[in-house]
Amino acid sequence: KAGVTQTPRYLIKTRGQQVTLSCSPISGHRSVSWYQQTPGQGLQFLFEYFSETQRNKGNFPGRFSGRQFSNSRSEMNVSTLELGDSALYLCASSRTANYEQYFGPGTRLTVT
Amino acid sequence: KNEVEQSPQNLTAQEGEFITINCSYSVGISALHWLQQHPGGGIVSLFMLSSGKKKHGRLIATINIQEKHSSLHITASHPRDSAVYICAVKAAGSARQLTFGSGTQLTVLP
């Protein structure tokens, strides 16, 4: 069974631009969660989607948004990028919210 | 005070040593996860547990719900075990997101 895939793997953007990251979960997994990892703050929860509905949101500004499609694929969008948004963005999928999560390889975003 | 505290932050061991990493948390939880992250960023879920003990190969995870404490043990450590080990808890109730510890950097020397 294929694992969680994320595209792109690396991305360089400039301040003020927007970016869209994509996550394809393991087949049959309906829950997708997104996380941000930075050297200063560590891993932080962004949001969780299940069956196209956002079930939970972390403490991030409204510039961070996401969605989930009917095939469980998910995207997250960051608008008006700031230097502090430079991070590794990870998504994880699971059968439902209470099952073990499987992480993708991450998208490393650099904002210059 | 962070909701999830890990110790130690850094750990260097000789190959073959028995290793323990600790995790304490302050909230009621529905589950605790142990994750492994190698250089380059990839995260692997090692264990998800809500009570007792789980074993997988040389790895053992235990949790004491009353004391809000979990430990990850590695027996007969090997240089390939070198990684960052992260404890994460899923709070009980409506706030179901994972909250992460700051991680333990483990280096196993040959």
pLDDT digits (tens, 9 = 90+) for A28-52: 999 999 999 999 899 999 999 999 9
Q: Is A103 close to B102, i.e. CB distance below 8 A?
A: no
CA angle A84, A85, A89 (to 5 degrees): 140
Tokens of A96: 């439902």
Q: How confident is the model at residue B43 (pLDDT cuts 50, 70, 90)?
A: very high
pLDDT digits (tens, 9 = 90+) for B17-31: 999 999 999 988 889
| Residue written as token pair 């304490």 | B24
Summary mean pLDDT of chain B: 92
Q: Supply the pLDDT for residue B46.
A: 95
Alpha helices in chain B (DSSP H): none
What is the mean predicted confidence (pLDDT) over A86-105? 90
Distance from CA of A61 to the nearest CA of B (A): 17
Q: Supply the pLDDT for residue B32.
A: 94
Q: Supply the pLDDT for residue B57.
A: 96
pLDDT digits (tens, 9 = 90+) for A49-74: 999 999 889 999 999 999 999 999 99
Look at strands B10-14 and B104-109 and give their pairing: parallel
A55 interaction partners in chain B (CB closer than 8 Å): 96
Look at strands A74-78 and A87-94 and give their pairing: unpaired
Residues A22, A24, A29, A35, CA torsion sign:
negative
For chain A, the maximum distance between any two Cα atoms, rounded to a whole number of angstroms, is 38
Q: Assess whether pLDDT exceeds 80 at residue A14.
A: yes
Q: Is A106 close to B42, i.e. CB distance below 8 A?
A: yes
Q: How confident is the model at residue A1 (pLDDT cuts 50, 70, 90)?
A: low
Q: What contacts A63, CB < 8 A, 6 or more positions away?
A: A78, A79, A80
B5 interaction partners in chain A (CB closer than 8 Å): none
Q: Supply the pLDDT for residue B39.
A: 84
A90 interaction partners in chain B (CB closer than 8 Å): 41, 43
pLDDT digits (tens, 9 = 90+) for B48-106: 999 999 999 999 999 999 999 999 999 999 999 999 999 999 888 755 688 999 999 99
Summary mean pLDDT of chain A: 94
Give the number of beta-carbon pairs within 8 Å between A and B: 50
DSSP string, B68-88: TEEEEEESS--GGG-EEEEEE
Q: What is the DSSP letter of A85?
A: G
Is residue A105 reached through a cis peptide bond, with omega within 30 degrees of 0 on the bond before it? no
The dihedral formed by the CA atoms of A69, A70, A71 and A77, expressed in degrees to the nearest 10 = 0
